[in-house]
Structures are given as structure tokens and as C-alpha cells.
């Protein structure tokens, strides 16, 4: 009988605990649990229905992950804040300043909300602790709405947007208390999407004055233009600089298009069940959340959950 070593040229490792960072195709025997395990790549790539929002919303901000998210603000100038636990939504403390086309980032218990539209572009910056919002003493240097904010509550980037008359290319960096102007984006726009952290971000899609496919990568200092989306549009996003997801948005009407970014280029993947614009996006490339939006009529309370291709541990019990 042919052995695993003869087939693969290696023996199966015997470990007392699972490896912290297994490689694709790695197989090991966990001597503590008496299980044979392997790390494989599972192709899923599908949107499924999540729990409906308490209050229908469009053009709000969002933060967190698929199973622990927060959305806030929305049109028309609402201060509503809602929490998602992976199954259902609940309402919690409102923003101090109701607004829409607002930028947001962070986690469900430590979120940041910046800018937005209140009848004009806003500089307002607020911090969320999981229950209540607190005004930050200083706001953005450039008042705007339709901006994109990525990072965490204490280390964020706010990029481009609309001030009512122009599309400022301004980029600002937040250190937890103040905003500092840094190098501007190459393609100014509003209603773009993005992903990442303060030192490694991605900006994609948007409008100026029509839909754009432009994608830019941020290295903590400056922006570099990289490969564009396949479909020009305003959209929502999730993920990181190296693995992002762009979904929904607007071309000549709401769209359901979803694209996946591998660090170099965009690939079209299965679409949202419901075409919509002004979605609040959160999560990662393999576990994203799309909540609210317009279809194009009034705001919707729809929520969809994305499950992407990912590495999974498969277990076989042996005796």
C-alpha cells in the first residue's frame, strides 16, 4: 500500500496542538485531540440574507466585522445608530450630529465617524464606545461629505469627498485626537469605497462627476494609482489593502456588482441579491456585510452577508 510519505515525499506531522499559521495543503495529526487535520482552500463566494435593519437606512457610515458591526447616520440627516451581532440589529445611542454620506471606521465598540452632509459639508468627528457617541474636540481640517475613512478609532485616514462645489483631493491622518493634512489622492471623488489601515490602505470607485473605476493604494505617506475596477461606479467596500471587496453602487442606476481585489487586480465575483446604492459596508474580503442603501426608491433595511473563498481546517477523527 502506498503511504502518504511516498505520495508527497513527507510524513504527517504529529503535533500536540494545531499550528498557529498553517499552509495550504498542510496535514497534521493532533495528538491531544486524536484528530487528523488538513488546511484547504474552500471556494464559496456567495451573498446570503442577513437580519433586516431596525430602521431602513441609506448613505450611513459603518464599522466593524460581519458578526459585530455598527452603522450610523444616514439620509436625511439622521443620527440613528444600529448594532449587528451576526443575526439581528438593535438600536443604540444616537450620533450627536445627524448627517449622511458620512465616513466611518474602527470596530463596533470603538468606532470613528467623520465628516458628512448636514446641509453643507461637515468637519464633525465623533467617537463611539459601543453605547454612546462623544464629540472629538477637533474636527476635520476640510469640511466634506462622501469621503472615505479607513483604519481604527485612534489611527485613521480620511480621503477625498465633496464640499458642495468641488471634489477636494485632501487626505487627513487622525492620531486619536487631531487630524493632520497629508498627501492628497491622485483622483478626487466622492462616494468612493476603501479598505485597510492607516499605513496601508486602498481607495476605489466613486464619482467626479460621473462614476469612476480609479483605484489607489496608500502606503502611509502617499497614494499610487493601481489597476482599476472592472466597472466604474460609486460603491461600498470592505477588507484590507491586499484583499478587498467592492460591492453594489451606482452607474446609471443601482447595481449589484461585486469585485474582489487580490492586491494587484480586480475580479468580478457573484453579485448582491439586491442591486442598491449608498450601502454601508463593513467586514473583510471573506466575510463582508452590506446593509441598507437605496434601490433606488426609499431607503431599504436589507442586510446581506458575503462568504468568500477562504482557507479552512478540515478535520477527520481517527482512532
The pLDDT tens digits of the residues spanning 243-290 come to 999 999 999 999 999 999 999 999 999 999 999 999 999 999 999 999
Please give, one letter per residue, the 3-state secondary structure of 132-192. Answer: CEEECCCCCCCCEECCEEEEECCEEEEECCECCCCCCCCEEEECCCCEEEECCCCCCCECC
- Which pLDDT band holds residue 42 (cuts at 50, 70, 90)? low
The mean pLDDT of 154-182, rounded to a whole number, is 98
SS3 assignment, position 306: strand
Confidence at residue 22, expressed as pLDDT on a 0 to 100 scale: 72
Boundaries of CATH 2.120.10.80 in the chain? 51-307
- Which pLDDT band holds residue 314 (cuts at 50, 70, 90)? low
Q: Report whether pLDDT(6) > 50.
A: no
- Which pLDDT band holds residue 9 (cuts at 50, 70, 90)? very low
The pLDDT tens digits of the residues spanning 84-113 come to 999 999 999 999 999 999 999 999 999 999
- What is the pairing mode between strands 27-30 and 13-15? parallel
Q: Identify which of 170, 100, 164, 94 has the alpha carbon closest to the alpha carbon of residue 135.
A: 94
Q: Report whether pLDDT(4) > 50.
A: no
- Name the burial class of residue 7, with classes exposed (0-12), middle (13-18) and buried (19+) by CB atoms within 10 angstroms of its CB: exposed
Confidence at residue 277, expressed as pLDDT on a 0 to 100 scale: 97
Q: Report whether pLDDT(318) > 80.
A: no
Please tell me whether the overall predicted TM-score, pTM, comes out greater than 0.85 for this model.
Answer: yes
Q: Identify which of 310, 269, 270, 306 has the alpha carbon closest to the alpha carbon of residue 288.
A: 306
The dotted CATH code for 51-307 is 2.120.10.80
- What is the pairing mode between strands 35-42 and 310-317? antiparallel
Of 140 and 44, more confident: 140
Concatenating the DSSP letter of every residue in 216-263 gives EEE-SS-EEEEPPPSS--EEEEEE-SSSEEEEEEESSSB---EEEE-S
Mean pLDDT (the chain, rounded): 92
Angle at 216 between CA 214 and CA 217, to 5 degrees: 160
Three cell numbers written together for 305: 452577508
Confidence at residue 310, expressed as pLDDT on a 0 to 100 scale: 66
How far apart (Å, rounded) are the C-alpha atoms in residues 242 and 55? Answer: 33
The mean pLDDT of 167-180, rounded to a whole number, is 98
SS3 assignment, position 209: coil
Amino acid at each position: 500500500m502506498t503511504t502518504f510519505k511516498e505520495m508527497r515525499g513527507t510524513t504527517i506531522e504529529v503535533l500536540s496542538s494545531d499550528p498557529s499559521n498553517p499552509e495550504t495543503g498542510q496535514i497534521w495529526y493532533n495528538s491531544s485531540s486524536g484528530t487528523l487535520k488538513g488546511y484547504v482552500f474552500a471556494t464559496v463566494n456567495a451573498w446570503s440574507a442577513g437580519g433586516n435593519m431596525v430602521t431602513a437606512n441609506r448613505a450611513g457610515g459603518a464599522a466593524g466585522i460581519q458578526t459585530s458591526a455598527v452603522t450610523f447616520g444616514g439620509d436625511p440627516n439622521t443620527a440613528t445608530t444600529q448594532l449587528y451581532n451576526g443575526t439581528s440589529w438593535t438600536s443604540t445611542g444616537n450620533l450627536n450630529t445627524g448627517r449622511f454620506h458620512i465616513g466611518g471606521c474602527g470596530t463596533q465598540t470603538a468606532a470613528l465617524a467623520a465628516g458628512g452632509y448636514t446641509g453643507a459639508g461637515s468637519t464633525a468627528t465623533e467617537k463611539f464606545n459601543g453605547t454612546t457617541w462623544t464629540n472629538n474636540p477637533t474636527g476635520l481640517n476640510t469640511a466634506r461629505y462622501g469621503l472615505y475613512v479607513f483604519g481604527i478609532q485612534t489611527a485613521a485616514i480620511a480621503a477625498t469627498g465633496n464640499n458642495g462645489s468641488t471634489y477636494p483631493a485632501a487626505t487627513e491622518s487622525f492620531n486619536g485626537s487631531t487630524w493632520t493634512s497629508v498627501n492628497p489622492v491622485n483622483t478626487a471623488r466622492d462616494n468612493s469605497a476603501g479598505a485597510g489601515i492607516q499605513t496601508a490602505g486602498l481607495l476605489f470607485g466613486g464619482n467626479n462627476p460621473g462614476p469612476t473605476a480609479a483605484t489607489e493604494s496608500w502606503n502611509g505617506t502617499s497614494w499610487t494609482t493601481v489597476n482599476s475596477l472592472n466597472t466604474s461606479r460609486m460603491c461600498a467596500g470592505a477588507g484590507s489593502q491586499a484583499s478587498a471587496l467592492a460591492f453594489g453602487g451606482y452607474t446609471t442606476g443601482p447595481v449589484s456588482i461585486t469585485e474582489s481585489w487580490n492586491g494587484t487586480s480586480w475580479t468580478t465575483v457573484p453579485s448582491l441579491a439586491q442591486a442598491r446604492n449608498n450601502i454601508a459596508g463593513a467586514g473583510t474580503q471573506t466575510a463582508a456585510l452590506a446593509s441598507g442603501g437605496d434601490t433606488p426608491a426609499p431607503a431599504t433595511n436589507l442586510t446581506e452577508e458575503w462568504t468568500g473563498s477562504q482557507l479552512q481546517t478540515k478535520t477527520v477523527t481517527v482512532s
